[in-house]
Amino acid sequence: MTDLQWAHDAARAIAAAALGRDPGPMTAAQSSSHYVYVSPDVVVKVIDAAGHSRLNREIVLVPHLPAGLTAPLLGSGLFRLGTREVRYACYARVPGTAPGMGLPGVDAATARLLAEQAVQRLGRLHRWIPAGHAGQTLREPLDHGGFVSQAALLAEVENLAAVDRDGIVPRPLLDGLTAIAERAPLRARATVPVHADCHWGNWLACDRSVTALLDFEWARFGEPVDDWFFLARFSGPHLAAVLDVIARATATSPQTLRAQCEVREASYLASDLRIALDRPGAPAPMAVARLHGLEELIVGRHWR
C-alpha cells in the first residue's frame, strides 16, 4: 500500500458509510494540512489520529454555525483502516469552486459582487451567539499567530530578531515591523466568532454567487477585522475594491480599516517567520514566501 493509498481507501470507506452506497470516483484535492478527497456528492477530510487536533475544532463548530454558512456535516470521528487510525470529517458537497488566492481570472465587477456576498456571510458569523460546547471551543486557547496585543507583537518582533542568527531578515524590515507594532492598539478584543482564515481559497462560488465558507479549524473569538483582513489581503489586484466593500458595509473609514489590516498582517508574518527560522523542520519555501510578504508590507506599503 502506497503512502497515499491508505488515505484514499479510508476516504472511500467513510464516504460509503455516510451515503449508504458506493460514493463513485473520489479524487484528491489540494490541502496543506489534510488528505482531502472529493466525489460528486461528498468531501472527506482525513488526517492521522495522532496529527494536529484542529479538525476536532471544526467538527464541534460546524453543526452549530448559522444555517447555510458552510457545507453540511454528514459524519465525523475516528476510523480504523487495518492498523491505522484516522480522524475524519465527511461533508455534503456544495456546488461551486474556490475563487482562489488572489482571485485569479476574476474581473472587477465579479470581485466586488463576491466580496459583497462574502461580507454578508461573515456578518452572519459575527452576529452568531454560540452557546454550550461551541462557545467553549471558540474560547479554547489557540496559537493562531494573529494580533493579540501591542506588547505581544513587539515581543514577537524581538523573538524573530533573536532567532534570525544568519541575518536573513534585513534590519529595515525588522524596524518596519517594530514601527507597525508601536502604532498598534494596546490589545485586541475577543468579542465575536471569527473564521480567522477566510481567504478566497476557503470560499466556494458558483455563477458569481458565493455558496459556502469552508475550513473552520482556526475559528475563535476575535474582532471582525480578523476576517476582513483575510478577505482583502488575498484579493490580488482587487484589494482596494474589496476594502471599499468592507468599509461601506461596516461603516468603517478606509484609513482605519487599512491600519487594522496592516497590524494583522505584521502579526502573522512575524509569527510565521519566527517559526520558519526557529524550527529545523519548517519548509524553506515558507520562509521565502513570508520574507517576500514582509518586503511587500514594509517597502511596498500596500496598506497605506
Set of cell numbers at residue 228: 476582513
Instruction: Quote the crossing angle between the two packed helices 54-61 and 132-139, to the nearest 10°.
Output: 150
Question: What tens digit of pLDDT does each residue of 131-171 get?
Answer: 999 999 999 999 999 999 999 999 999 999 999 998 999 99
Buried b (16+ CB within 10 A) or exposed e, 170-192: eeebbebbbebbeebeeebeeeb
- Do residues 43 and 29 lie in contact, with contact meaning Cβ atoms separated by under 8 Å? yes
Q: How many CB atoms lie within 10 A of CB 119?
A: 20
Domains of the chain in sequence order: 5-92 (3.30.200.20), 108-300 (3.90.1200.10)
Q: Profile the chain (304 residues) by mean pLDDT over runs of 10 residues.
A: 75 95 93 90 93 90 96 95 91 97 98 98 98 95 94 98 93 98 97 97 97 97 98 97 97 97 98 89 79 96 92
Question: What tens digit of pLDDT does each residue of 4-48 get?
Answer: 788 899 999 999 999 999 999 999 998 878 899 999 999 999 998
- What is the pLDDT, as a whole number, of residue 79? 93
- Do residues 57 and 217 lie in contact, with contact meaning Cβ atoms separated by under 8 Å? yes
Q: What share of the chain is helix, strand, coil (3-state, %, to 5)?
A: 50, 15, 35
Q: What is the pTM of this model?
A: 0.94
Label residue 86 exposed, middle or buried (CB < 10 Å: 0-12, 13-18, 19+): buried
